[in-house]
């Protein structure tokens, strides 16, 4: 029974890698314009993080970090009368 666990573990890691690729595509700004889309993205990233937590595959953890970065607001430079203020 133990060899099957390793096979299942590898298969789950591959599924997580593929899932992260899908969610990263959905995280593009042109896809997540609405508040509903942003909430859906946040929920997907959270669910991915929950599933990825126990993985030993470093790719899964790198992708988890990349997904979490997509939730952080992008910073922008604000100018008043041509002078940068933020």
Residues 31-76: tens digit of each pLDDT = 998 999 999 999 999 999 999 999 999 999 999 999 999 998 876 6
**% of the chain surpassing 70 pLDDT:** 90
Query: What are the beta bridge partners of residue 79?
Result: 84
Q: What is the CA radius of gyration of the chain?
A: 18
Cα gap 14→35, rounded to integer Å: 30
pLDDT at position 63 is: 98
Segments of the chain assigned E as strands? 79-80, 83-84
- Assign 84 to helix, strand or coil: strand
By the 8 A CB rule, do 55 and 63 touch? Answer: no
Using the 8-state DSSP alphabet, how is residue 73 labeled? P
Does this model's pTM top 0.85?
A: no
């Amino acid at each position: 029974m133990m060899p099957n666990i390793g096979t299942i573990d590898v298969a789950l890691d591959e599924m997580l890698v593929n899932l992260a690729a899908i969610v990263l595509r959905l995280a593009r700004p042109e896809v997540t314009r609405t508040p509903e889309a942003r909430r859906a993205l946040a929920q997907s990233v959270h669910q991915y993080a929950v599933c990825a937590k126990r993985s030993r595959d470093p790719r899964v953890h790198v992708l988890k970090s990349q997904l979490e970065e997509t939730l952080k607001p992008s910073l922008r430079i604000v100018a008043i009368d041509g002078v940068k203020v933020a």
